[in-house]
Amino acid sequence: MRTGSEEWMRQVGERKKITRIEKPYLHKPRYHIYVDGEFLLSVHEDILVKYRLQKGMELDESEIAKWLEAEEYNKVKQKALHYLSYKPRTTHEVKMYLGRKGFERETVEQVILELEKNGFLNDMEFAKAWVNERQHHKGYGKRRLKQELLNKGMDPAVVDEALIHIGEEDERQLAISIAERRYLRLCHESWPRIERRLGNYLVRQGFSMGVVYEVLNLFRARYEEEKGNGP
């Protein structure tokens, strides 16, 4: 079944005229366009303003094709902005989301470029914020942070740049800090059991084996001292 716009574009002949523009939904920025008394298509307010659509305006086939293309582009952009309104996303996540919606890849790529240009998408800023939040609130080491960002489809070079400020001593101090809390819950158990559980915990948190072994040695010395001073 043909839509009004498809039927209109099929016809070749005299120029048509916009006879009515109405806003059917109070809280939606969309407008219905009528040509020669018949419904032609629905457009977003941005398209209405961009092309200065108004009653009495004459149009031809090329103009309506241009509107339809602009309307499709705007639809993709609005979907992307809506998706981004919930929380920050990576470029890859937005691309995948729009792809699942069935939009053409070329249009998606154009929208992505516009969003990046206008600051709605910035993978470097996303990565830095992600690292800061997960490191300070979750106690995650570089390995886990890197894997999480790569899983979000980020460029490895961007990920490495976002992690470059985390030095070996930073990792060590963070590992000691989070191990302290876990050790206090385990210190009544035997050292082999503490070592296994504490070591596995630090590995899951994303610390290198070098850091894990160093932290375990510190806590083993503490454990032995505490037990040696006991009754």
Helix axes 156-163, 142-151, angle to 10 degrees: 150
Return the closest-CA partner of residue 195 out of 177, 220, 214.
220
**At which of 117, 152, 182 does a domain end?**
117
- Domain co-membership, 113 together with 129: no
| pLDDT value at 15 more than 80 | no
| pLDDT value at 18 more than 60 | yes
- Domain co-membership, 155 together with 229: no
104: domain CATH number is 1.10.10.10
- Domain co-membership, 110 together with 142: no
Distance CA 143, CA 182 (A): 20
**At which of 80, 102, 117 does a domain end?**
117
Distance CA 126, CA 109 (A): 19
Domain, as residue range, for 189: 174-231
**At which of 52, 85, 117 does a domain end?**
117
Q: Which pLDDT belongs to residue 2?
A: 47
- Domain co-membership, 28 together with 85: yes
Q: How open is the CA angle 16-3-58, to the nearest 5 degrees?
A: 15
- Domain co-membership, 99 together with 49: yes
Q: Residue 207 is encoded by which pair of tokens?
A: 């610390």
* Residue 77: partners with Cβ closer than 8 Å, 6 or more residues away: 111, 114, 115
pLDDT digits (tens, 9 = 90+) for 29-48: 888 888 888 888 888 888 88
Beta strands at 16-22 and 30-35: parallel, antiparallel or unpaired: antiparallel
pLDDT band at 230 (very low <50, low <70, confident <90, very high): very low
- Domain co-membership, 36 together with 111: yes
Return the closest-CA partner of residue 4 out of 23, 20, 26.
20
**Which one has a higher pLDDT value, 88 or 66?**
88
Number of folded domains in the chain? 3
Report the run of H or E that residue 32 belongs to, with start and end: strand 30-35
- Domain co-membership, 153 together with 105: no
- Domain co-membership, 71 together with 149: no
- Domain co-membership, 158 together with 191: no
Number of Cβ atoms within 10 Å of the Cβ of 44? 18
Q: Residue 76 is encoded by which pair of tokens?
A: 């993709």
- Among all chains, which residue has been given the structure tokens 């570089």? 142
For residue 108, the 8-state DSSP code is: H
- Domain co-membership, 8 together with 70: yes
Q: What pTM, to 2 d.p., does this model score?
A: 0.78
- Domain co-membership, 101 together with 10: yes
- Domain co-membership, 160 together with 182: no
